[in-house]
Chains A and B, each alone.
Chain A
Amino acid sequence: MKQSSSSSSSSRPGKPGLLGQLADFFEDRTGYRAFVHEALYERVPGGARWRYVWGSTLVFAFMTQVITGLVLWASYSASAQTAWESVYYIQHEMAGGWLLRGIHHVMAQMMVVLLALHLMQVVIDGAYRAPREVNFWLGLILMMLVLGMALTGYLLPWDQKGYWATRVATNLAGLVPLIGPSLQQVVVGGPDYGHHTLTRFFALHAGFLPATLVALLVVHLTLFRKHGLCARQPITRPDAMFWPDQVLKDAVAMLAVMAVVLGVILLPALRAVLEGRPIVPGELGAELGAPADPSQPYAAARPEWYFLFLFQFLKVFEGWGASGEFLGAIVVPGLVMGMMFLMPIVGRWDLGHRFNVGFTVALLAGVGLLTALAMREDYCATWIDAAALADVGELIEKTGGDEAQIAATLGNDPEKIRAFATRKKSWDAARHSRAFMDASEQAEVDAARAVALAGRPERIPPTGALELVRGDALSQGPKLFAANCASCHGHIDPQQADAQALLAKTSAANLHGFGTQAWVRGLLDPEQVAGPGYFGNTAHKEGEMVNFVQHDLTDRSIWKPEDIAAVIAGLAAEAGVTHGETTVAPEVALVERGRVLLASSEHCGSCHTFRDNGTAAGSAPDLTGWGSREWLVGIITDPTHERFYGDTNDRMPSFGKAEQGSLPMLPARQIALIADWLRGEWYRPAVAGH
């Protein structure tokens, strides 16, 4: 013992070297050698084993989280206008930020896996039995602390996925008897989610929980040393020392854990290399969704995969009413934890120990099963053949979902009705899964867009990145168009394969490419003007414009092909739609000629106002600045204005006009977003090399 603890100083009798003197100085005053010795020279009965590494890997994982977490902390800012922004900055702009965040994120998941393994090993080896009961209980508390840190950490980036998952989790906390609603309010930090939800979750995540964990971990390890390792029986091999035999195995296991973590982070980079794509570091490691927005639905809301079983468990209690949710979220998890706390007592009997092992295995199997079920529900559309079930959807659409009508269509044959019900289930499952997968994909698109916007040279405004997203035509345009315009207008690329079928369903002009020369060319094409892409499905089908295009414009004595080309160029020049392309400047002469024709009372100007051609407003839309942002905003605001369709307006609502004291259908800002989107005007990041 003396020998092993002695340092270099004792190997050389006489005067110790400088280092040795220093070591002796501290030894005299602290007695550290005995500490070190005690820490390293622990007897491992039966020799070092791989099965003993789980505890050490957990400590290692926790230390990794402390190191990466502290540095993340140094760059993180917990508030509703800065959390997403600071995480964006770490992930996409700070040197190595993606790696730091990646390690923290993946190691957190690794910790959950290691916890499960450690627990299994302890239960199977019966290491919870006397005298180790207290240490087992401490272990369970440590496990809950780790899960608590995982739960609170998920919110901190303040992105859509963390926000919606936390809403569900905190709402479940509200179900705790008596104090539930107050508890929820204290955790959330007020009646609504915001700054104080973040500051509180952050304080829990980086302060209270880890501090408690460290304190308990010290006790856990001290008690572990006090009782010694619970050796695998029977002991067949000679004992060994903790240092270096077991430490070597532990260190190898830690290295393996770290290798897995790095592998998970770097795998997409490898894939990119193999596919010949450039590696974007910001896309490696942990995801960052679009900024949290309480008013934007988020259909891809899911907890982290290791909480998916709890999420799925809530579905098990379908039809139980309020008691079901209470059972699923509070009672059953509480009972399971209670059962685990009782293990050391139950395990006093041999049968009890076997019960405990069975219980743990069944528990983990149940967790695995629920997780698999949740995944299957979310992704079943990948293997269910939707086309084979198309008739189910058709029948539902035809009958409006009315059960009696469906039964009648099926000839009231119970056999057929039952078969239909089964197929309807698959149809539903496939659609729900498809909706989830589409939503996840959309979430990725939205996230990428938010990141692109945040990277603008103007940087993020002090009001936060959500302002950028809400003011972005590219991401908001399609949503606003779908909600407000798409019930009549199409936005369908004519080149697309099913364009004609889709156009047939619309009842107003196709606005895809509106303002471009191609669009105007179609308008002035006698074949197309009365088709579904233009006026075909509107009251203007019989109107003067259609008549003009189909008759006057085909009269080559008035309209020469080069004149028509000039009008097309002239009108498109009014719109000035560029779709972000650096336009090939239209021939100036052609545009000039077009403008003359647009104004001339022999040509377009006979009905349309154009600049100062003197044609009175009201007979046809004003072509001055046709298709420009201002013109589009005007027509969406009020198509019944005499500048546009006046009283010949066909069904289009005045989206921006409001009676005094009430709201317009759309705020001005949203109308402008629709106009910008139609014109293809939105922020485009500079492409490298341009």
Chain B
Amino acid sequence: MAGSPEESVKRPPTPDQRRGFLARMLALVCGGLATLPPLVAGLWVVLDPLRRQGGAAAFLPVTELPSVPDDGMPRQFTVIDDRVDAWTGFVAEPIGAVYLRRRPGSQQVEALSATCPHAGCFVEIDKAARCFRCPCHNSTFTLDGGIVAPSPSPRAMDSLECRVEPTGGIAVKWQNFLTGVAAKVVKS
């Protein structure tokens, strides 16, 4: 502010000018330092969700073998588990849904997540057309979860690990995957 630009180029800064510069810098530093703590604290809390991981994937009992008809038509089952939502704990809550299917005569059970790999809507089964269909953007999948081209979905339905216990109970490894990408990546 003191003196025009030309003057300051020509002459060495006077002590007054130097003091002015120092004052400006100090003002900025003090002001900046004062506002930093609330900003840092705020950002710290805003980013807290990045520390939160979904529970490690576990095998959850879903149903019994006789409940899955061996006619090749998938059937929808609710997945039940304890769930924590921030400060609230739920005991035995429905947390999602899977489709289970048995091919004719087979004892093997295949499990597909009902979450659409496109953008996460709830995929439904279309018994008349013998396929899966997502009510959101019409992604269609074959009964074994394969993609029916052309599809908005970048990949087939997500299969889940599934095992039949000796007692006949069926357990499914419950996982969520990133949507909208070609690779099946587990969501942390």
Which residues of A are in contact with B by a Cβ distance under 8 Å? 80-81, 164, 167-168, 171-172, 174-175, 181-182, 185-186, 188-192, 194-196, 293-301, 311, 314-315, 317-319, 321-322, 324-326, 329, 377, 393, 396-397, 400-401, 428, 431-432, 435-436, 439, 483, 653, 658-665
Contacts and interface: CB of A to CB of B under 8 A. Distances in A.
Given A80-B85, A318-B152, A436 B135 contact: yes
A242 B167 CA distance: 83
Nearest to A297: B122
Contacts of A435: 124, 135
A653 B67 contact: yes
B137 A431 contact: no
Nearest to A658: B64
A294 B130 contact: no
A396 B129 contact: yes
B182 interface: yes
B118 A192 contact: no
Contact of A661 (B129, B131, B135, B167): B167
Interface in B88-109: 88, 94-97
A167 B123 CA distance: 14
A439 B119 contact: no
A172 B137 CA distance: 13
Given A658-B64, A661-B167, A182 B50 contact: yes
Given A295-B97, A314-B119, A321-B154, A665 B167 contact: no
At the interface, is chain B mostly helix, strand, loop or mixed? loop
B130 A164 contact: no
Question: Which range contains the number of B residues in contact with the other chain?
Answer: 35 or more
A665 B65 CA distance: 9
Given A295-B78, A299-B122, A322-B182, A665 B152 contact: no
Given A186-B49, A319-B151, A432 B67 contact: no
Given A295-B94, A299-B135, A431-B128, 10 more contacts: A81-B88, A167-B121, A189-B49, A191-B49, A295-B95, A296-B122, A318-B151, A329-B180, A401-B131, A428-B129
B146 interface: no
Interface string B118-147: 111110101011110101111000000000
A194 B128 contact: no
Given A318-B152, A663-B61, A171 B119 contact: yes
A661 B61 CA distance: 10
Contact of B63 (A174, A294, A315, A665): A665
Given A168-B119, A299-B135, A665-B63, A191 B54 contact: yes
B31 interface: no
B47 interface: yes
Contacts of A181: 178, 187-188
Contact of A483 (B76, B94, B121): B76
A662 B64 contact: yes
A195 B88 contact: yes
Nearest to A187: B49
- Which of B135, B154, B180 neighbours the largest number of chain A CB atoms within 10 Å of its CB? B180
Contacts of A431: 126, 128-129
16 contacts: A171-B180, A181-B187, A186-B50, A190-B52, A191-B187, A192-B54, A195-B86, A299-B124, A301-B121, A314-B119, A315-B152, A321-B154, A324-B152, A435-B124, A653-B66, A662-B167
Contacts of A293: 94
B121 A294 contact: no
A314 B61 contact: no
Contacts of A172: 119, 180
B61 A662 contact: yes
Nearest to B55: A191
Interface in B29-50: 46-47, 49-50
A591 B10 CA distance: 119
Contact of A194 (B50, B86, B120, B133): B86
B46 A186 contact: yes
B128 A665 contact: no
Nearest to B150: A319
A16 to B, nearest CB: 43
Contact of A659 (B88, B155, B168): B168
Interface of B: 46-47, 49-50, 52-54, 61-64, 66-67, 75-76, 78-79, 83, 85-88, 94-97, 114, 118-122, 124, 126, 128-131, 133, 135-138, 149-152, 154-155, 165, 167-169, 176, 178-182, 187-188
A481 to B, nearest CB: 15
A362 to B, nearest CB: 24
Contact of A301 (B128, B135, B182): B135
A394 to B, nearest CB: 10
A329 B136 CA distance: 14
B68 to A, nearest CB: 10
B85 A195 contact: yes
Contacts of A174: 178-180
A171 B120 contact: yes
Contacts of B66: 653, 665
A301 B124 CA distance: 13
Nearest to A653: B66
A91 B132 CA distance: 37
B60 to A, nearest CB: 10
A531 to B, nearest CB: 26
The 10 closest A-B pairs by CB, nearest first: A319-B150, A295-B94, A662-B169, A194-B85, A322-B154, A191-B54, A299-B135, A297-B122, A322-B182, A318-B150
A172 B120 CA distance: 9
B138 A315 contact: yes
A324 B155 CA distance: 12
B174 to A, nearest CB: 12
Contacts of A301: 121-122, 135-136
A660 to B, nearest CB: 8
Contacts of A315: 137-138, 152
A477 to B, nearest CB: 16
A191 B52 contact: yes
Contacts of A436: 135
Contacts of A196: 49, 86
A539 B92 CA distance: 38
B149 A319 contact: yes
Contacts of A400: 130
A401 B140 CA distance: 14
A190 B46 CA distance: 11
A658 B182 CA distance: 40
A195 B52 CA distance: 14
A317 B49 contact: no
A546 B171 CA distance: 42
Given A314-B137, A432-B133, A322 B180 contact: yes
A199 to B, nearest CB: 9
